[in-house]
Every structure is written in C-alpha cells, then in structure tokens.
Chains A and B, each alone.
Chain A
Amino acid sequence: MSDSRLVHAHQFDDAEQQRDAASLGMWIFLATEVMFFGGMFLGYTIYRSMYAEAFAAASNRIDLIPGVINTTILILSSFTMASAVYHAALGRGRALQISLLLTIVLGAAFLGIKLYEYHEKFEELLVPGALFSFPAPFSAAAEIFFSFYFAMTGMHAVHMIIGFGLLAKLLFDARRGRYSAGYYTPVELVGLYWHFVDIVWIFLFPLLYLLGRHL
C-alpha cells in the first residue's frame, strides 16, 4: 500500500494523528445529531402514547409504496457509499467515482420521491396549518402527527441535501485524483455521515408509515 499522501495539516504531528482526529470529530458530530433528532423522537413518542388511535389513523393515510421504495433506495445508497469507501481504500479511483455517483443518484431519487409525497400531502390537505383537514374526532391529534411527520422527514431531507453537497465535493475531488489508498479520510467521514442519515430514516419509516397497519 503506497502512501501517496503523507502531508498533514500543521497542527498535527503526522497523518495518522490527523486521520484519528478527523474520525473522532465526525463521531462526536454524529452524537450531536443523535441528540438533535432525539428531541423530535421523544416528542413523537410522548404524543403517540397519548393519542395512539389518532396517530394510527393518521399514519394510515400515508401512502406506503413511496415509503417502501424510498427505504429500499436509501439502504441501497448506503451500500454504494460503503462501496465507495472500500474502493477508495484499495486505491481504485474509477470505482470510487462510480460508487459516489450511484450514491448521489440514489439520494436524488429519494428526494424526488419525497417531493412527490409532500405534494400528495398538500393535495390531500394533510399539511399542518391553515389548510389542514382531518376527520373528527382525531383532527387535533392528527395535526400533531403530521407536524412531527413534516418536521422529522423535513429535517432528514435537509440532512440529505447537505449530504449531497458533501458527496458532490467528494466526487469532484475524486475526479481530480485527490484520494488514494494512503489518504481517503474525507470519503470515510462522509460515509459515516451518510450511514447515520440512513439509520435515522430506518427509525423514521416504521414510526411514521407503519402505525396500526395490518398485513
């Protein structure tokens, strides 16, 4: 394994320290993200236990199919992301670029479907606020459900968009030959971030889409 990049930033003693520091930094950042989403999950959990029936009724109004497709897409994108890290570690520049591109495409598909879902909600008057409409007696609780739906999936989408930017930068740098078997830390770190965003979705999906459903 050739070390094609031994240069490190001036504050570090060597490349290994830099890599270690970057990795620890990303894990700590992900801890903050857990706390951030955690607040919403907590609120959701409390209201779900308070308004179980209403939440189930509201959840049943959400179309399952786009959700299932999106879940599949996202899990696939985590695979392509992991492939990207794998190829980077082996110094396979082209394979790395393809994996990154695939991840971006899958992520874009996810967001596209999400946009479609939001549009549907708008049409069905399920967007909380002045235009919200849900049959009694669950209207207030359903509005709370959908408030969490939009807040949580919206925040998730924001994080995916940020992930896009990161992936695009990675792809751009990969095309310029910046990564090699000796240096691919940014790919690893973005990978961590992307997997985290995926895991958040894996929790969101059953809580929002699958309440009270019977197979």
Chain B
Amino acid sequence: MNIPSAGPRRHYLNAGYGVRSWLLTTDHKRIAWLYLLSITFFFVIGGAFATLMRIELLTPQGDLVQAETYNRLFTMHGVTMIFFFLIPSIPAVLGNFLVPLMIGARDLAFPRLNLASWYVFILGGAFTLIAAAAGGVDTGWTFYTPYSSRYSNSQVVLTVVGIFITGFSSILTGLNFLVTIHKMRAPGMTWFRLPLFIWSHYATSIIFILGTPVIAITLVLVGLERIFSLGIFDPARGGDPLLFQHLFWFYSHPAVYIMILPAMGVVSEVIACFARKRIFGYSFVAFASLAIAVLGFLVWAHHMFVSGQSVYASMVFSLLSFFVAIPSAIKVFNWTATLYKGSIAFDAPMLYALGFIGLFTIGGLTGLFLATLGIDVHVHDTYFVIAHFHYIMVGGAVMGYLGGIHFWWPKMTGRTYPEGWAKLAALIVFVGFNLTFFPQFILGYLGMPRRYHAYPPEFQVLNVMSTAGASVLALGYLIPIIYLTWSLRYGRIAGTNPWMAKGLEWETHSQPHSANFDAQPIVREEAYAYSGEERGDLQPLGKPVDV
C-alpha cells in the first residue's frame, strides 16, 4: 500500500486542533477517544472504591471505615464499574473506532447521534458523581426494594437519574451500530465476510436496544416510588418487591452479555491474527454470538432462586441458564481449535486473548454451579458469586478490552507500545487477578456472604490473600496506563499493518484520515483470509484449503 510522503499527512488526529474540534467532532474515531478517556476516569474511580473495600477486608472487624461508608463503597463500586466502565468500554471505544473501518464505511450511520451519545454518557456520569459527592448510595447496585425505595437514607434518586440518563448513551450506540452494519457495508462485504468483531457488536447492539429501556423504566418507577411514597414495589403498601427484581434482572442479566460479547469479538480478531489463521468454525462463532444475545433474555430469574419465587419458575430458569452456556462453550472450543496448525506469536494482545480464554472458561464453568439449583441455594449471595462474575468481567471483559487496546493501538495512534513492558503487565494482571479472586470461591462455599463489612475471624486468611492479590492486580493495570501514555509521544512510529493482520482497518493508514479510506474499499476476500482465500476458495467444512 502506497503511503504518499509529501509533508505531514492529514489524519483524524491533526485535522483540527483545539477544544472545539474535539468537543464538536462527529468523527467516530475522535468520539472513541472521548469515550476512552472518560471510561478510564471512571475505571480509576471504581478501582479506588474497590481498593478501600479490599483494605477494609484485611481485618475481620469493620475498622477502616464505618458500616455506612462501606455499604456506599461497594454500591458505588458496582454502579461505576458496570454502568460507567464495563458496559460502554469495548463498544464505545473500540466499537466506535473500528466498526466503520472494519466494514469499509466512512463513518457510522449517524455521526451526530454518536457525539450525542457521549454527551449523554457524561451527563449521566455527572449526576452519579454528584450523588457520590453528596454522600453516595448504599443500596447495592441492585437497588432491591423496599430498602432502596423506602428505607435507605442515601442518594438513591440522584443515582438512578444518572443511570437512567446514561442508558440512553447505550441505546444510541446500539442503534447506530445496527443501522451501520445493516446499511453501510462496503461492496462485497457480505454478512459472512464480516469480521467476528462485527458479529459480536451486532449481537451486543440487539441487547442494548431491547434491554436498556427496561432498566430505564424500572429505575424511573423506583425513583417515583421514593419521591412520592408510592407502593409499586413496597409490600407495606400493596406492592410486590419481587416484581422489582424481575424487572431489574430482565435487563441486568442481558447486561452481562453486553459486557462479554464485545470482548469475545476482540478475542476472535486477535486469535486469528496471532495464529495467522481463519477462526475455526467461523459461522458457528457468528451464530453463537446471536444465540447468546437471544438466550440471554430468557434466563434472568436465575438471580432469584432463593427469592421466594415458585419452585417451578426456578426450574425453568435453571434449565434455560444451562442452554445459554452452550454457545459460549462452542466459542471457546473454536478459538482453541484455531490454534491447531496455526503459526502462533505471543505478542501482548495474544497474551491477553489467551488469558481471556483461560479465565473466561473458569468463570463460565462456575456459572454452571450457580445455574445448578441445589448448589445455588448454598452459594447464592456469597463470595462464590462475586468470584464468578469477576472472573467473567475482569478476567474476561477487562482482559479483552486491554488486549484490544494493545492490538489496535498502532492503528489508533500511529505508535507502538513497548512490547516487553506490555507482556510483563499482561502476566502481572493474570497472576494478580487469580490471586485476588480464586480465594473468593473458597470463601463463598465456606459461607461468607457478600456485602459484608465485617466478618467472622475464620475468613480472614483468605481475605488477606485476596487483598494481596488485588495489589498485584492494581500494579498490572497501572503499568499499561503509564507506557501507553508514554508511547503517544515516544513510541516507535507504526506502519499501516504492524501485525500483518487481515481486515479492512489494516488496509488504511495508521491514524486513518477523517474519512477512513483513500478510496472506497471493495471486498473480494473472505474474513481472515490469511492464506489468501479468494471468493469461492473455501471448501465445505472439514476440508482444508489447498493454497
């Protein structure tokens, strides 16, 4: 690919300086950066809450902070990490940057709506920060009634308003992705030539659209109940607290698939590139993404097995929860099979991707324990659940995010990061993560409940181990923040395609110019055409292609 060398090239980062050119941008690539900075900010805040929590939990007594404070810490940790870091992370940063590039478009379908989605995100975040500054909220991120709607003396209304507003950011992003993927693919980019990253963002967008409005209305009703002393969810006034739980989890369960599907998309891209092979079972992986999105809407009441709901309801939801595990398992097997007879390199993105597969597998398998009714009665609302979801969301989603950031960093910034430090950080994250969260499985089965500010002394040793691990994990996160920032100025200049990867994003400049491509791309290859498969080259499943 010829890169003209007359003078400094105009690209999306130097096409206009100044605050206005950033705050009024409609370029999806700049909006991705706006999101990147914002969610990193929230990640640090959520991490600070977690740090205080883990330090408190070093001793059985509640001696670092008061109970009221601790309750606000774990609530704000959950709210910040889920709504203001995990849910936007990959879609709003990597998705925004890459979706148009990967399908050969000049931008998303609705660039101004894209910018609006960021402002909405910031507005929602502002409300939540104000709520935190005004004392925070202490209901748990799950806001169960009637505690949240009547008994809690904390900033419930401000917080739910913040989350409500931010929900629209998700909806607008999902809407944009769906329309873009449907209508703006380059000539030749058929559905089954799409990168799996696009499939997973498509599936995620379905959940954004169908799920987010339900949490929106649920939080509105809780807010109204609190302000006007209504009885919609309050049994003392004729309401049903389980109705709240059903409405809440109807969104909040699919929300976890919002958090993992994009990371799975990243993993597909990275594995294909660093094994230099087409993903094994491409169409199965693509359909598995859709299956996860659909089935994910059918399992919400597995959070309610001991809530007092009927035994029959619990059995139905338990069975469905096992169903939803299968497509994820299919993906893990297909990723592993991709390595077979590949040519495998171990750059940092690949380390993150392989780490993802390991940790997601453990997290996913422990989900089966929770789906199993007889076991869930024992481990529900204990540290077993906390360990399970952190394996998926931190061991899975965050590692997917970091892997993606490293993989596309050269494309986004035109610079490479220091590979040695990156590998070291990936390793530290992996080790620190397991040290932090594996002991929590043991703690949970022992019976340590979650959201406990103080605990019986026999749980201390495991808690100390967990906190020690957390300090290692924190170090692992700090290192990339430092060298990635450093690389913006001092990193080696990257070429167009430092990884020799396949994909339309790699066929345009690093630091693409504002309209992405010099000329309209026309797609003549299958996805991941690492062996140069042209149209029609792929044999039916099972037969390797002779190239």
Contacts and interface: CB of A to CB of B under 8 A. Distances in A.
> Are A and B in contact, CB atoms below 8 Å, in the complex?
yes
Nearest to A46: B243
A174 B211 CA distance: 36
Contacts of A17: 183-184
Contact of A31 (B106, B107, B210, B214): B210
Interface stretch (A115-123, A137-145, A178-186, A188-196): A137-145
A12 to B, nearest CB: 7
B63 to A, nearest CB: 42
A11 B171 contact: no
A143 B179 contact: no
B184 A39 contact: no
Contact of A147 (B180, B231, B243): B231
A39 B232 contact: no
B213 interface: yes
Contacts of A144: 230-232, 237-239
Interface stretch (B108-116, B152-160, B303-311): B108-116
A151 B224 contact: yes
Nearest to B515: A10
A2 B230 CA distance: 57
Contact of A32 (B180, B182, B209): B209
Interface in A24-62: 24-25, 28-29, 31-33, 35-40, 42-43, 46-47, 50-51
B129 interface: no
B221 A43 contact: yes
A128 interface: yes
A32 B212 contact: yes
Contacts of A143: 230-231, 237-238
A40 B183 contact: no
B232 A147 contact: yes
A11 B229 contact: no
B183 A140 contact: no
A129 B231 CA distance: 9
A11 B213 contact: no
Chain B contact residues, majority secondary structure = helix
Given A17-B183, A143-B237, A11 B106 contact: yes
B454 interface: no
Contact of B109 (A21, A50, A130, A151): A21
B402 interface: no
A125 B105 CA distance: 58
A205 to B, nearest CB: 20
Contacts of B105: 11
Interface in A124-167: 128-130, 140-141, 143-144, 147-148, 151, 155
Given A11-B106, A147-B224, A32 B213 contact: yes
B175 interface: yes
Contacts of B178: 24, 28
B217 interface: yes
B393 interface: no
A20 interface: yes
B179 A24 contact: yes
Nearest to A41: B217
Contacts of A11: 100, 105-109, 111, 184
B232 A43 contact: yes
Contacts of B238: 51, 140-141, 143-144
Contacts of A12: 109, 184
Contacts of A151: 220-221, 224
Interface of B: 100, 105-111, 171, 174-176, 178-180, 182-184, 209-214, 216-218, 220-221, 224-225, 228-232, 237-240, 243, 247, 515
Given A25-B175, A128-B230, 11 more contacts: A11-B109, A28-B174, A28-B178, A33-B213, A35-B214, A42-B247, A144-B237, A147-B231, A147-B232, A151-B220, A155-B220
20 contacts: A10-B107, A11-B100, A11-B106, A17-B184, A24-B182, A25-B109, A25-B179, A28-B174, A28-B209, A36-B213, A39-B214, A39-B217, A39-B221, A39-B247, A40-B217, A43-B232, A43-B247, A51-B238, A128-B230, A143-B231
Q: Please give me the 8 A-B residue pairs with the lowest Cβ-Cβ distance, nearest first.
A: A140-B238, A39-B217, A36-B213, A11-B107, A35-B213, A129-B228, A147-B230, A21-B109
